Amino acid sequence: MDIYVQLALSGLFVGGIYALISVGLTLVFGVLRVVNFAHGEYLTLAMFLTFFLFHQLGLDPFVASLIVVPILFVLGLITERLLIRRTLEAPHVVQVFVTFALSLFLQNLFLVLFTSDFRTVRTDYATAAFEIGPFYISWLRLIAFAASIALTVALALFLKHSYMGAAIRATAQDRRSARLVGIDVDRIYALTFAIGCALVGAAAVLLAPLYPVNPYTGADLILVAFVAVVLGGMGSIAGATLAGLLIGVIESFSSYFLGGEMKQFVYFIVFMAILSLRPVGFFGRKGAEVMDVT
């Protein structure tokens, strides 16, 4: 019995970070209708930033978050302004090319700037853990999980209860009507893209002490986020969160009971099974991807 609980805990902890990465991606898709293939590279960038702040200035990753998250927010604003905005009216295939090209460009930029070495943020508390009964719980992983969930909940509350949040949801549901109630839709796009980047920045800060970074780290992790976004229902934050946690738990159990090389196989099986029963994902809406062509 103990082993099940321990596996579920490990899975949930990792799943929390998957959820945080996925939430930014699904939010950007839901509002801008753009799949940002470079989302993973923003994660990599933020992890490198955290690493260099730690290494050069001795800043603890949690302190560094006060710098990294705002920087990612501003980078999001700039990217939206210079690149994404120009593609919003373009066919989907153009958007895919643009964000995919951005992803490759950033990967290669990181290679030139940082080489392909793995960089590790080594804090004193990296492996601190405590025991509850028969369970071992890593402080860092617990904190990463709690912070991920807290940020996701905060985002949901912001969207639900603030004027700005309502404007973001309105833009997602109907761009044209949003304009007609006086929402500056261009500003909402910029803000949403920036929030997506800031969230992935927060995920990076939480990941950095746990996991080494090199130019491909984000690209490796983002696959899970794409699965979570589709599984949860494109554009659904609750869905992405749930799917992120679920994937974490599935990975954990399948690597224990079936072997580590099986875990991707298992969650893709689950992914296909769920989508064949419910093609729009957990909280997706039928036709949501074409809901508001203007």
Report the candidate in 68, 12, 67, 75 with the shortest Cα–Cα distance to residue 39: 75
Q: Toward another protein, which CB reaches closer, 74 or 117? A: 117
Q: CB within 8 A of 54, min separation 6: which ones?
A: 60, 61, 64, 121, 123, 208
Instruction: Say how far apart CA 169 and CA 252 lie, in whole Å.
Output: 34
Q: Which of 179, 275, 280, 282 binds another protein (CB under 8 A)?
A: 179
Q: Which of 31, 47, 49, 183 binds another protein (CB under 8 A)?
A: 183
Q: Which of 97, 114, 158, 216 binds another protein (CB under 8 A)?
A: 216
Tell me if 56 contacts another protein by CB under 8 A: no
Q: Toward another protein, which CB reaches closer, 58 or 276? A: 58
| Calculated CA dihedral for residues 84, 104, 205, 200, nearest 10 degrees | 30
Q: Toward another protein, which CB reaches closer, 49 or 249? A: 249
* Residues touching another protein, count (CB under 8 A): 65
Tell me if 71 contacts another protein by CB under 8 A: no
Tell me if 86 contacts another protein by CB under 8 A: no
Say which DSSP state 261 is in.
G
Tell me if 184 contacts another protein by CB under 8 A: yes
In the window 120-159, what residues touch another protein (CB under 8 A)?
A: 120, 122, 126-129, 131, 136, 138, 141
Cα three-residue angle 89-163-35, rounded to 5 degrees: 30
Report the candidate in 102, 101, 43 with the shortest Cα–Cα distance to residue 72: 43
In the window 235-294, what residues touch another protein (CB under 8 A)?
A: 248, 251-253, 255-256, 259-261, 263-264, 285, 291
HSE value, Cβ hemisphere, 13 Å, CA-based, for 292: 19
Q: Which residues pair with 262 in a beta bridge?
A: none
Measured CA distances, 144 to 10, 24, 155, 177, 186 (Å): 12, 16, 16, 38, 33
In the window 3-42, what residues touch another protein (CB under 8 A)?
A: 3, 6-7, 10-11, 13-14, 17
Shortest reach from residue 111's CB to another protein, in Å: 6
Measured CA distances, 188 to 4, 16, 119, 172, 192 (Å): 44, 27, 36, 10, 6
Q: Which of 181, 269, 272, 273 binds another protein (CB under 8 A)?
A: 181
Query: Could you give the 3-state DSSP secondary structure of residue 182?
Result: coil
Q: Which of 25, 45, 210, 237 binds another protein (CB under 8 A)?
A: 210
Residues forming contacts to another protein in the complex (CB under 8 A) are: 3, 6-7, 10-11, 13-14, 17, 104, 108, 111-112, 115-118, 120, 122, 126-129, 131, 136, 138, 141, 163, 166-167, 169-170, 173-174, 176-185, 207, 210-212, 214, 216-217, 220-221, 248, 251-253, 255-256, 259-261, 263-264, 285, 291
